[in-house]
Structure 1
Amino acid sequence: MPEICFYEPWTYQLALPEKFEQILEETKKKRISYEADHCSQYNTRTQGKSAKLHPPTLSAVLKLIAMQEQKEPEAGAAGIQNVENSIRYFCMEYPLDEEVCVMTYNFRNGRFCGIRKKKDPDGGDTTKMPGVLKGGSTGEEYLAMLAFASIVSKSRYYDDEFHACYEELKRALKKGLVQLVPKMSLLCCDNLYQRVTAGTKDTIPFDCNQFFNGKLKDSFLPFDLNSGIYAPNACIIGSFKVLGAQKGKNNATIAELKVAYKGCFTCPSVEAERIPMLPENYIASQEVEEILEMVTHTPARLFMMTGEAGTGKTTDARMLAQILGLPYYVFTCGPGTDELELLASTVPNMGTKKRMLPQLPDFQDLQMDPASALYVLSGIYEDGISEGEAFHKLLSLAFEKGYESARKEKDFFLKESEIIKACRRPSVLEIQEPSMIEKPGTLTRLNSLFDDGAVTDLINGEKIRRDPNTIIIMTTNLDYVGCGNFNQSVLSRMSLIQPKQELTEEEMKQRITARTGYADENVLRFMISVVKKIHAYLKEEDLQDGVCGYRELENWVLTFRAIKDIRRAAQIAVLSKAAMDPEEQEHLMKTYIEPYYSKQE
Structure 2
Amino acid sequence: MAKTPLYQTWSWKRSLPEPFDTEEPVSTTIYSRYCMTPTKKSTLHSASLSAILAYMEMDTSVTPGSTSESAFGTQGEKLISEYQSRTGEIHAVVFNKTNRKFTAGRFDIADPSSNAKVYSIKDSGNTGTALFFTLIPLAMEDDEFKEQYDALATCKDAGYPDMEKADEAAYVLCDNLYRRIENADSLGNDGIKISIPNTGNVQQLTPLNLNKGTYSPTSVLFGNFRIFKPGAKAAASVSIDKNHFCGQYSFSNRVFSQKEQLLIPKLEDWYIIPPEADSICKHAKMTTSGTQPMRNFLLRGPAGTGKTEAAKAIAAGLGLPYLFYTCSANTEIFDLLGQMLPDTEGTALAESGELPSLMDIQMDPPSAYYKLTGQYEDSITEEEVYDKLIEIIGLQAKQSEDGKPQGGQHFRYVETPLIQAIRNGYVLEIQEPTVIANPGVLVGLNGLLDRCASVVLPTGETVKRHPDTVIIVTTNINYAGCRDLNQSIISRMNLVIDMDAPDTDTLVSRVVNITGCTDTSTVVEMAKTVQEINEHCRETMINDGSCGVRELISWVQSYMVCGSVLESADYTVLSSASSDPENRAEIYSTCLEGKFAA
Judge which range, 262-271 or 311-320, deviates more.
262-271
Post-superposition offset of 1:486: 2.1
CA distance in 1, matches of 2:406, 2:107: 58
Give the equivalent residue in structure 2 for 1:506. 505
1:379 aligns with none
2:306 — aligned with what? 312
- What residue is the counterpart of 1:228 in the other structure? 211
Contact kept? 1:80, 1:91, Cα under 8 Å: no
Residue 279 of structure 1 aligns with which residue? 268
The range that moved more, 455-464 or 310-319, is 455-464
Structure 1: which 5+ runs fail to align? Answer: 1-67, 69-77, 94-102, 109-152, 155-223, 357-398
Q: 2-side partners of 1:336 and 1:595: how far apart? A: 45
1:326 aligned onto 2:313: no
State the partner residue of 1:268. Answer: 256
Tell me the CA shift for residue 484 of structure 1: 1.2
The answer for the alignment partner of 2:336 in structure 1 is: 342
CA contact (8 A) 1:455 1:464 kept: yes
Shift of the 463–408 alpha-carbon distance from structure 1 to 2, 3 Å rule, reads farther
Matched residue, 1:258: 245
Structure exhibiting the larger radius of gyration computed from Cα positions: 1
Q: 1:540 to 1:519 in 2, by over 3 A?
A: same
Residues 480-491 of structure 1 aligned to structure 2 (within 5 Å) = 480-491=479-490
User: How much has 1:281 moved relative to structure 2?
Assistant: 4.9
Distance 2:595 2:338 in 1: 52
Q: What is the aligned-residue identity percentage?
A: 30
For the residues of structure 2 that align with 1:445 and 1:353, how far apart are their CA atoms?
Answer: 35
Deviation at residue 286 of structure 1 after TM alignment: 2.2
Tell me how far 1:412 sits from its aligned partner. 4.8
Task: Give the Cα separation in 2 of the matches to 1:313 and 1:302.
Answer: 15
Q: Corresponding residue for 1:303?
A: 297
Residue 497 of structure 2 aligns to a residue in which SS?
strand
| Contact 2:300–2:498 (8 Å) recurs in 1 | yes
* 2:139 alignment partner in structure 1: none
Corresponding residue number in structure 2 for 1:462: 461
Q: State the 1:501 CA deviation.
A: 0.8
What's the counterpart of residue 53 of structure 2?
none
2:488, 2:526 → 1: CA distance?
A: 43
Sort the Cα spacing of 1:341 and 1:577 in 2 relative to 1 into closer, same or farther, 3 A.
Answer: same
Aligned-partner SS, 2:509: helix
Aligned partners of 1:279 and 1:515 also within 8 Å: no
Report the Cα offset of residue 578 of structure 1.
0.7
Aligned twin of 1:182: none
State the secondary structure of the residue aligned to 1:598.
Answer: coil
Q: 1: CA distance between counterparts of 2:243 and 2:563?
A: 36
Q: What is the 5 A alignment of 1:529-540?
A: 529-540=528-539
Post-superposition Cα deviations, 1:523-582, rounded to whole Å, max 9, x if no partner, equal: 211221221111111111111111100010111122333344433321112211111112
Rounded to whole Å, the distance in 2 between the matches of 1:479 and 1:320 is 25
Unaligned runs of 5+ in 2: 1-68, 70-87, 94-102, 119-124, 127-206, 218-222, 288-292, 351-397
- Give the equivalent residue in structure 1 for 2:281: 292
Q: Which amino acid aligns with 1:313?
A: K
* 1:409 CA drift (Å): 8.5
Match of 1:387 in 2: none
1:115-514 matches, within 5 Å, as 228=211, 248-249=235-236, 251-253=238-240, 255-258=242-245, 261=248, 263-265=250-252, 266=254, 268-269=256-257, 270-298=259-287, 299-350=293-344, 353=347, 410=409, 412-514=411-513
Which position in structure 1 is the counterpart of 2:541?
542
Query: Does the aligned pair in 2 maintain the 1:430–1:474 contact within 8 Å?
Result: yes
In the TM superposition, what is the alpha-carbon distance from 1:345 to its structure 2 partner? 2.7
Residue type at the aligned position of 2:261:
A
**TM-score of the two chains, using structure 1 as the length reference:** 0.51
After superposition, the C-alpha distances for 1:495-540 in whole angstroms (9 at most, x for unaligned) are 1111111121111111112222223202211221221111111111
What one-letter code is carried by the residue in structure 1 that aligns with 2:239?
A: A
C-alpha change, 1:327 and 1:400, in structure 2 (3 Å) is: farther
The match for 2:581 is: 582
Amino acid at match of 2:256: P
In structure 1, how many angstroms separate the alpha carbons of the residues matched to 2:91 and 2:464? 39
